[in-house]
């Protein structure tokens, strides 16, 4: 135990400073953009889970309100089982810098809302802790996030025969993510990590003529996912490219496997941490 504590202490004390930074494709960085700086994000992902699949386009714009606060905007355009594409949960997050020692990791917290754009989505709260740091060519990111804590029921439709309306308050999820990256070339970085999903119980409610008939509980559970990725950063240019593959390792995992490709652009920061 003393050896582990010493390694952690040494890692923190020899870490590099994190200022302007790109976000990991699967999570968030503890670093900040800085006042007036912008970051544009785009990604495409495809996943399969048992007999179902989903294809998603993700868009994001982040803005540094000042040196300690970033405003992050995220929105998704997705289809399910080759159906039509629809806009889905719009996330508005304020990321606050907690602090950073002269040679240590960057800490930030995030608070925000998941705003429903589709009838089968719910209003949710988001809260998270984000830590990032590095030693020479090795960097790490750690996230602990409640995403989201649902506040409302979503309307899943009305049975045309019985007239019963099915509403759902989905399981809230506590996510823990840990990612390690290693720069093998000046323009190429490999990354690996894991994600732990802890699902809390949700509820399904049945109504008819605006009166509740029955309520059932959606059981909670936990799941582990493995994430592997690569990042390409042309030297001296304010853009980078990401690719990742994720594997669900547990029965409760939200996917059997998932692939994701993304790009980020920071016009004012061609040499930001990546």
- What DSSP assignment string belongs to 220-247? -EEEEEEEEEEEE--TTSSEEEEEEEEE
**Using CA atoms, how far apart are residues 86 and 30, in angstroms rounded to an integer?**
31
What pLDDT is attached to residue 51?
76
**pLDDT, tens digit, for every residue of 221-238?**
999 999 999 999 999 899
Residue 147 three-state SS: strand
**Using CA atoms, how far apart are residues 179 and 189, in angstroms rounded to an integer?**
12
Q: Which of 133-137, 154-158, 201-205 has the lowest mean pLDDT?
A: 133-137
Residue with tokens 């020479």: 136
Number of domains in the chain: 1
Q: What is the mean pLDDT of residues 88-99?
A: 92
Whether pLDDT at 4 is above 60: no
Long-range contacts of 78-84 (CB under 8 A, 24+ apart): 78/54, 79/54, 79/55, 80/52, 80/53, 80/54, 81/52, 81/53, 81/54, 82/53
Number of other CB atoms surrounding residue 90 within 10 Å? 16
In a domain, 274, yes or no: no
Q: What is the mean pLDDT of residues 251-271?
A: 93
Q: Concatenate the DSSP letters of all residues of 94-143 into one string.
A: EEEEEE--TTS-EEEEEEEEEE--STT---EEEEEEEEEEEETTEEEEEE
**Using CA atoms, how far apart are residues 116 and 75, in angstroms rounded to an integer?**
10
In a domain, 272, yes or no: no
In a domain, 249, yes or no: yes
CB 71 within 8 A of CB 63: yes
In a domain, 166, yes or no: yes
Q: What is the mean pLDDT of residues 90-119?
A: 87
In a domain, 270, yes or no: no
**Using CA atoms, how far apart are residues 170 and 197, in angstroms rounded to an integer?**
14
273 confidence band (pLDDT: 50, 70, 90): confident
Residue 15 three-state SS: coil
Question: In terms of residue numbers, what domain contains 57?
Answer: 2-265
What are the tokens at 211?
Answer: 């009166």
What is the Cβ-side half-sphere exposure of residue 91, based on CA atoms within 13 angstroms? Answer: 24
What pLDDT is attached to residue 3?
61
What pLDDT is attached to residue 272?
85
The CATH number of residue 258's host domain is: 2.40.160.40
In a domain, 162, yes or no: yes
* Residue 204: exposure state from Cβ atoms within 10 A (0-12, 13-18, ≥19): middle
In a domain, 60, yes or no: yes
16 confidence band (pLDDT: 50, 70, 90): very low
Residues in the chain: 274
Buried b vs exposed e over 210-229: b needs ≥16 C-beta within 10 Å? eeeeeeeeeeeeebebebeb
pTM of the prediction? 0.88
**pLDDT, tens digit, for every residue of 123-135?**
999 999 999 988 8
In a domain, 273, yes or no: no
8 confidence band (pLDDT: 50, 70, 90): low
Give the strand pairing for 257-265 and 138-150. unpaired
**Using CA atoms, how far apart are residues 140 and 180, in angstroms rounded to an integer?**
4
């Amino acid at each position: 135990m003393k050896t582990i504590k010493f390694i952690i202490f040494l890692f923190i004390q020899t870490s590099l400073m994190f200022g302007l930074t790109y976000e990991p494709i699967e999570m968030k960085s503890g670093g900040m953009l800085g006042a007036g700086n912008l970051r544009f994000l785009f990604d495409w992902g495809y996943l399969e889970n048992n007999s179902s699949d989903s294809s998603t386009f993700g868009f994001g714009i982040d803005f540094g309100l000042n040196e300690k606060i970033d405003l992050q905007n995220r929105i998704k355009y997705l289809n399910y089982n080759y159906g039509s594409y629809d806009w889905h949960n719009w996330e508005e997050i304020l990321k606050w810098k907690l602090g950073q020692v002269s040679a240590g990791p960057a800490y930030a917290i995030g608070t925000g809302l998941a705003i429903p754009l589709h009838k089968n989505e719910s209003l949710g709260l988001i809260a998270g802790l984000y830590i990032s740091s590095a030693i020479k060519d090795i960097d790490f990111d750690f996230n602990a996030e409640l995403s989201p804590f649902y506040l409302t029921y979503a309307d899943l439709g009305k049975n045309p025969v019985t007239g019963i309306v099915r509403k759902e308050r989905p399981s809230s999820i506590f996510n823990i993510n840990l990612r390690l990256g290693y720069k093998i070339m000046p323009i190429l970085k490999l990354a690996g990590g894991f994600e732990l999903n802890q699902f809390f119980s949700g509820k399904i409610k049945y109504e008819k003529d605006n009166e509740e008939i029955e309520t059932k509980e959606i059981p909670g559970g936990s799941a582990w996912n493995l994430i592997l990725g690569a990042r390409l950063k042309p030297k001296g240019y304010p853009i980078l490219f990401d690719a990742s593959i994720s594997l669900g390792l547990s029965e409760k995992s939200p996917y059997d496997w998932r692939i994701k490709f993304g790009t980020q652009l920071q016009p004012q920061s061609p040499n930001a941490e990546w």
